[in-house]
A = this chain, B = another copy of it.
Amino acid sequence: MKRLKCTIEYDGTNFSGFQIQPNGRTIQGDFEKVLKTIHKGMDIRIYSSGRTDAGVHARGQVIHFDSPLVIPTERWERALNALLPNDIAVKTVEEVDPDFHARFQVRKKEYRYFLLTQKTRDVFSRNYSYHFPYPLDLERMRAGAGYLTGTHDFTSFCSAKTEIEDKIRTIEEIDIIEDGQKIVFRFIGNGFLYNMVRIIVGTLLQVGQGKLEPIDIKFILEKKDRTLAGETAPPHGLYLWQVWY
C-alpha cells in the first residue's frame, strides 16, 4: 500500500460541497469515482484537510488516499487529470509516509475571500467573487480585524449548527488588501470553524460600512453569541488557498 498526498484545485460553482452525499455532485464523490475506475472497481476512500461548502472554491485543497498500485507520481497526476471532470484539477501528487493524514496533521491553513467593489456587475466574476458595490472604510475593517487575531473562543463567529465543542482557534494573520476594484481578505490560522471565515467577512463588512464600530468585534467575541455577529458572506467569494503540514 502506498499513501498518496494530492494538492487539488476546484471550482465549487457546480458542486453541492466537498463531502459525499446521496444527492448532488460533490468533489469527494467525483474524485472517488475516478479512483474506482483507476483501481478497476475497487473502492478507495479519500481524506481531505477539511470540507468546503457548496459554491466554495479551492486553489490548494489537500487530500490523501491509499493505493495498492505501483505507479510513478507523474503518471498518477496525468491519469487523474485525464479522468477528472474539468472543474477539478490535480496540481501535485507526492508519495508520503503511511502516517501522514490530510486532516489530522494540518499545521495551518490559508483562506482568501474576494470582493468586487465596482458599481456595475462583472459577468465573468459572478461565481468567483462577492459583488459588493458599496463604500467601505478599509482602515476601520483592519482595526476590527485586529481584535480577531490571536487565540480566542470563536463561538460568535461559528455557525450554530456545528457539533464541534472546542471553539478555541488561533488566527495568525488577517490581511485586507485593495487591488483596483477588488478587495482580498487573507486569513491564516491553525484551524477554522464551520462558516467562520464567511461570518468574519460579513461582520467586517458591517464595520467597513459604519454599521458596527471596530471595538464591537471585541465585544462580540467576548459574548460568545452567534446572533451578535454579521451575516454569513456568500460562499462564492471564498477560496481554500493553502494548507501547511
Contacts and interface: CB of A to CB of B under 8 A. Distances in A.
A152 interface: no
A201 to B, nearest CB: 20
B128 A89 contact: no
A122 interface: yes
Contacts of A122: 9, 89
A11 B126 contact: yes
B9 A126 contact: no
Contacts of A120: 77, 81, 89-91
Interface string A140-165: 00000000000000000000000000
A87 B11 contact: no
Contacts of A88: 123
Interface in A97-153: 120-124, 126, 128
A187 interface: no
A23 interface: no
A86 B121 contact: yes
A10 interface: yes
A128 B123 contact: no
Contacts of A11: 123-124, 126
Interface in A1-56: 9-11
Contacts of A89: 120-123
A132 to B, nearest CB: 15
Interface centre among A9, A57, A124, A126 (most CB of B within 10 A): A124
A74 to B, nearest CB: 11
A165 to B, nearest CB: 35
Contacts of A90: 120
Nearest to A86: B126
Interface string A52-89: 00000100000000000000000001000100001111
8 contacts: A9-B124, A11-B124, A11-B126, A77-B120, A89-B120, A89-B122, A89-B123, A124-B128
Given A57-B124, A89-B122, 17 more contacts: A9-B123, A9-B124, A11-B123, A11-B124, A11-B126, A77-B120, A81-B120, A81-B121, A86-B121, A86-B123, A86-B126, A88-B123, A89-B120, A89-B121, A89-B123, A90-B120, A91-B120
